Structures are given as structure tokens and as C-alpha cells.
């Protein structure tokens, strides 16, 4: 400090002498210049990184420093310190090397202060310590690995703030992931790197839009076969009358239709023959086209909702209901990556209301069940590339034989004492998804499905069997080969 005071005195004396000699510099200007020299010397004395030299003063000297985690700071005091008070020992720790020299070690992110007291219990210095992540290495990483971006990295209150401009949403996600791994090494969340300490303020020029064209096709085939004979007989033994009845049930359910005929076996032994065979085919097709911004979700449902009871009011005797959706549902979330590639998360579901597994909660209320086929996948595709989810095949076969013990096992004749029930169900679901990068178009470039449609007049509708008005012949270019066309052809009248 003695050397510093000599420098200050010499500089001030030089300025005063120069003022008296030249007589063109005012006393105020000389004073301001002298203060600038003194302040410059003080700032220079405390400018060393990782080192603070506290000047001797009758008042408390305050300093605010920013340290990286696990870094140290050397503090030199002008006089001996007796007590050191730390606001939060979890953030910073002080190691006293001597009465005038101490080391401050940054332990955890946050802010605290350290106060030094002398032997007379007067405060020597108050040092405010801010512990923040060292973002210098992260900023250099962005400059070398992502040179086309302009990412600014800052640290505040233990968090990393990313700001600036990048080219696409994919670069935003990549920068946030890198920053998350940098500040939370080894920590992993559900979606990948832990980014809870990363504040994302990055922007990019435009958010790409993705159009997803999906074809959902489901084929179902079922076969039912039922065969059984019911016998009944009435005979007399002496004065007693003995009746016999055999009704063989269908364990898998009695289907309506088929053959239900009575057969007389002679005497008083009538019988009823039951026979049924059913074959059915069901096709379900949905081709939704959805558009969503990169990073956002879009959903689609083609079906309906059915009510189910959710509560009962005993006072009024009313039942409250809620509705559950069923049908063909689709939800997808696209993320546009570099070079036009698209990361696609697709959730599809095909459901239907079924009587199988239904149960009755009262005489008037029966709750149905729902058959569901559901898929969830995440893939990466180029624009225009297709994804096929196939092999979703389900086949169930049920066969039941019901009858009278012992008699149903007799060859040939046992047919009279048993019923055979057979059900076979086969289902296959195929999903084809194709994403495209799209832009908005002018309204004049779009066509409505009912464009040019006009209902036919009474004459053509009643006597000619036409549904809509038709004029001209040929295709849009005016060329048609009538020999290859059957029925009315031409243009839908838009007049």
C-alpha cells in the first residue's frame, strides 16, 4: 500500500505542476484527471483473476466476484482478521492460510457473502460470491461444432441460458441437449439428457410444417359353426309315465338363423335339429391426412363415443354417464431434422364396441367391452418416405362340445346326445404412414370435393337414372375414346 500511495502522490504533484506551468488547464480538469489516475491504479491492483487485494480503509470494503464451481479465489487483507462469517457454507468455503490471507473455494451453484472482522470486531471486507457454471468451454464447443449457428451462452443462478439464432428446430434440440449434458453430466431424464437447468431462448427462421398421410386398413374374417340335436320322449311303464328331455346348449352362444327343424323318430320320440354356419368379412379403412408444425402434435378420430354410467344419485334415482371414444384414432408428433429428415412419433388405435366380455350391473344396464388394437412407434424418415406397420395379426379359435356324459361318447349315436360349437376369428391390421414437408399455398390452388357438383333435374333423375348433371364428353383435355367407356361420361355440370 505504501508503494501505491507514493504513485498516487507523484501523479497528483505532476498534474498540479503542469497546470501551473501551462496555465491553460483549469483546476477542475486537473482534479478530474488526478482522480482518474488514482482510480486506474486501484482498479489495476484488483484486476488479477482469482486474486483480490483489499485496500486499507476505515469503512468496510465490498467486492462482488463470480466463480465457477470448484474454483478458488485468493484474498489478501490489509490487517489481521479475527472472525470470518460465511452466509451459506454449502455454496462457498473459506480456508484461512494466515490472519491476512485466505482462500475462498466455490462448492455449489448459488450466491452468498463472506464478512471479515478484525480484533476490534469491525468489518474489514464484505465479499459477495456468485457461483455459476463455467460456460466458456460450452461456448467454444458451439463455435467449433456448430459454426453456422449464433448461440450465446450465459450463466445465471446455476442455470445455463441459451440465446441467439439457429437454422432449424433440430439445431435447437441439439444445442439444448448438449447444454443439458454439460451442466448435468451423467443425469438422464425420460426424453434423454436432463435439461431442467437449461433455459432455451433460441430462435430460428421458420417452423417447418409436416403433412402426414396415413392409411389404416383392417381385415376381419369370422366363421361360426353350430350343430346339435335335442331329444325328448314320453313312455309308460305300468301305470307310471316317464318323460325324457335332452336340450344340448351351445356354450359359445346361441346364434340366430340357421336350421331349426323337428324330426320324428317314431312313436312319441320327437327331436329338434339345430344347424348353423356363418361366415363374415369386415373391412375397416381410414386415410386421414394431418398437418402439424415441427415439435407439435396433431390427432384424428373417425368413429364415435358411447355412454357408460359413471355415477348414481340415490335421492333422484338418476344415473350420470360419461362418454368413451371408439373407432380409428391417430396422433403423431413430427420433428424436422437436418437435411429434410423427419423424426416421427406415431400412435394409432383401432377400437370397436363388442358384446364379448360385457356384463350387466342391473336388469336395465349392460356395460359393453371394447376391442382395441394399438401401436406406438418412433421412426426417422425422409420427406416422402413411407413406413409400414404390418404383421399385427390376431387369430382366435374356440370349439366346445356339450352333451350328456357317457352317451355323447358313443360313436355315431352319440351325435344325438351332444352339440358342437365352433368359432374362428382372424384379424389383420396394416398401417402405412408417409410424411411430407409442406408449405402453405394460395386458396386459388385448392379445390373443394363438391366443386362443380349439381343435382340432376327430375326428368334425368326419374327416367334416365342419373344422380348428377353431366355435360360434354371426354376428359378434361377434350379427348375421349367412347369405345373403352361404358355408361354416361363427361363433365359434372358446374353451371
**pLDDT tens-place string over residues 120-139:** 999 999 999 999 888 888 99
Spatial separation of the C-alpha atoms in residues 332 and 347, rounded to whole Å: 6
pLDDT at 24 over 70: no
Spatial separation of the C-alpha atoms in residues 2 and 399, rounded to whole Å: 107
Q: In terms of C-beta distances under 8 Å and separation of at least 24 residues, what long-range contacts does 20-24 make, across chains too?
A: none
Question: Mean pLDDT over residues 224-253, rounded?
Answer: 62
Spatial separation of the C-alpha atoms in residues 337 and 171, rounded to whole Å: 8
In this prediction, residue 124 carries a pLDDT of: 93
Provide the pLDDT confidence category of residue 400 given band limits of 50, 70 and 90.
confident
Provide the pLDDT confidence category of residue 49 given band limits of 50, 70 and 90.
low
In this prediction, residue 29 carries a pLDDT of: 42
CB burial of residue 262 (10 Å; 0-12, 13-18, 19+): exposed
In this prediction, residue 479 carries a pLDDT of: 45
Query: pLDDT for 164-203, tens place per residue?
Result: 988 777 788 888 889 888 888 776 665 556 788 899 998 8
Query: pLDDT for 80-97, tens place per residue?
Result: 999 999 999 999 999 998
How far apart, in Å, are the Cα atoms of 449 and each of 96, 213, 446, 488?
84, 18, 10, 20
In this prediction, residue 33 carries a pLDDT of: 39
Grid cell listed for 326: 371408439
**Residues 381 and 342: beta-carbon distance below 8 Å:** yes
In this prediction, residue 62 carries a pLDDT of: 92
Residue 42 CB neighbour total at 10 angstroms: 14
pLDDT at 115 over 90: yes
> Which residue is it, cell 462482488?
64
Question: Mean pLDDT over residues 54-58, rounded?
Answer: 88
Query: pLDDT for 329-375, tens place per residue?
Result: 889 898 887 777 888 888 888 888 887 777 777 666 778 888 888 88
In this prediction, residue 243 carries a pLDDT of: 59
In this prediction, residue 166 carries a pLDDT of: 85
Q: Which of 149-153, 242-246, 266-270 has maximum average pLDDT?
A: 149-153
In this prediction, residue 5 carries a pLDDT of: 34
Using a cut of 0.75, tell me whether the model's pTM lies above it: no
How far apart, in Å, are the Cα atoms of 202 and each of 144, 182, 259, 449?
18, 17, 74, 42
Q: Mean pLDDT in the chain?
A: 75
In this prediction, residue 114 carries a pLDDT of: 94
| 325 DSSP β-pair partners | 305
Q: Which of 6-20, 288-302, 411-425, 477-491 has maximum average pLDDT?
A: 288-302
Helices (H), 434-494: 458-462
In 361-480, beta strands by DSSP E: 366-382, 387-403, 418-438, 470-471
Residue 186 is given by DSSP the state T
Spatial separation of the C-alpha atoms in residues 435 and 292, rounded to whole Å: 11
Amino acid at each position: 500500500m505504501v508503494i501505491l500511495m507514493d504513485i498516487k502522490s507523484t501523479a497528483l504533484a505532476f498534474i498540479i505542476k503542469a497546470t501551473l506551468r501551462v496555465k491553460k488547464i483549469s483546476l477542475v480538469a486537473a482534479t478530474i484527471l488526478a482522480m482518474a489516475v488514482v482510480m486506474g491504479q486501484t482498479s489495476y491492483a484488483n484486476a488479477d483473476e482469482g486474486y483480490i487485494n483489499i485496500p486499507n480503509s476505515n469503512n468496510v470494503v465490498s467486492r462482488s466476484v463470480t466463480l465457477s464451481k470448484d474454483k478458488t479465489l485468493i484474498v489478501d487483507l490489509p490487517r489481521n482478521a479475527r472472525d470470518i462469517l460465511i452466509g451459506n457454507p454449502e455454496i462457498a468455503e473459506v480456508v484461512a492460510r494466515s490472519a491476512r490471507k485466505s482462500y475462498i473455494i466455490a462448492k455449489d451453484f448459488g450466491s452468498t457473502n463472506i464478512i471479515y472482522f478484525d480484533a476490534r470486531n469491525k468489518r474489514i471486507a464484505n465479499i459477495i460470491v456468485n457461483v455459476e457454471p463455467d460456460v466458456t468451454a460450452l461456448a467454444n464447443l458451439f463455435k467449433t461444432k456448430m459454426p453456422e449457428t449464433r448461440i450465446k451462452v450465459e450463466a445465471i443462478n446455476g442455470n445455463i441460458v441459451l440465446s441467439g439464432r439457429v437454422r432449424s428446430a433440430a439445431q435447437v434440440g441439439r444445442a439444448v441437449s448438449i447444454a443439458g449434458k454439460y451442466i448435468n453430466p451423467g443425469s438422464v431424464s425420460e426424453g434423454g439428457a436432463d435439461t431442467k437447468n437449461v433455459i432455451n431462448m433460441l430462435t430460428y427462421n421458420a417452423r417447418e410444417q409436416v403433412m402426414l398421410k396415413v392409411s389404416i386398413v383392417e381385415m376381419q374374417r369370422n366363421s361360426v359353426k353350430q350343430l346339435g340335436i335335442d331329444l325328448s320322449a314320453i313312455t309308460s311303464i305300468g301305470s307310471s309315465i316317464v318323460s325324457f328331455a335332452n336340450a344340448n346348449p351351445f356354450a359359445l352362444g346361441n346364434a340366430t338363423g340357421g336350421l331349426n327343424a323337428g324330426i320324428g323318430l317314431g312313436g312319441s320320440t320327437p327331436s329338434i335339429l339345430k344347424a348353423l354356419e356363418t361366415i363374415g368379412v369386415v373391412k375397416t379403412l381410414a386415410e386421414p391426412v394431418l398437418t402439424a408444425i415441427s415439435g407439435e402434435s396433431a390427432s384424428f378420430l373417425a368413429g364415435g363415443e358411447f355412454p357408460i354410467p359413471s355415477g348414481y344419485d340415490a335421492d333422484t334415482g338418476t344415473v350420470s354417464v360419461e362418454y368413451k371414444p371408439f373407432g380409428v384414432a391417430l396422433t403423431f408428433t413430427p420433428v424436422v431434422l437436418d437435411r429434410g429428415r423427419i423424426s416421427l412419433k406415431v400412435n394409432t388405435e383401432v377400437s370397436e364396441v363388442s358384446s364379448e366380455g360385457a356384463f350387466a350391473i342391473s336388469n336395465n344396464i349392460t356395460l359393453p367391452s371394447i376391442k382395441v388394437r394399438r401401436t406406438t412407434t418412433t421412426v426417422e424418415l425422409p420427406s416422402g418416405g413411407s413406413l409400414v406397420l404390418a404383421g399385427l395379426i390376431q387369430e382366435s379359435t374356440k370349439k366346445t362340445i356339450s352333451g350328456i356324459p357317457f352317451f355323447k361318447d358313443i360313436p355315431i349315436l352319440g351325435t344325438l346326445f351332444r352339440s358342437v360349437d365352433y368359432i374362428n376369428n382372424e384379424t389383420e391390421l396394416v398401417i402405412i404412414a408417409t410424411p411430407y414437408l409442406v408449405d402453405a399455398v394460395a386458396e386459388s390452388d385448392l379445390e373443394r370435393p363438391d366443386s362443380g357438383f349439381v343435382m340432376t333435374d327430375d326428368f334425368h333423375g326419374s327416367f334416365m337414372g342419373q344422380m348428377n348433371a353431366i355435360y360434354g364428353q371426354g376428359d378434361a383435355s377434350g379427348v375421349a375414346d367412347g369405345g373403352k367407356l361404358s355408361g354416361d361420361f363427361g363433365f359434372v355440370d358446374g353451371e
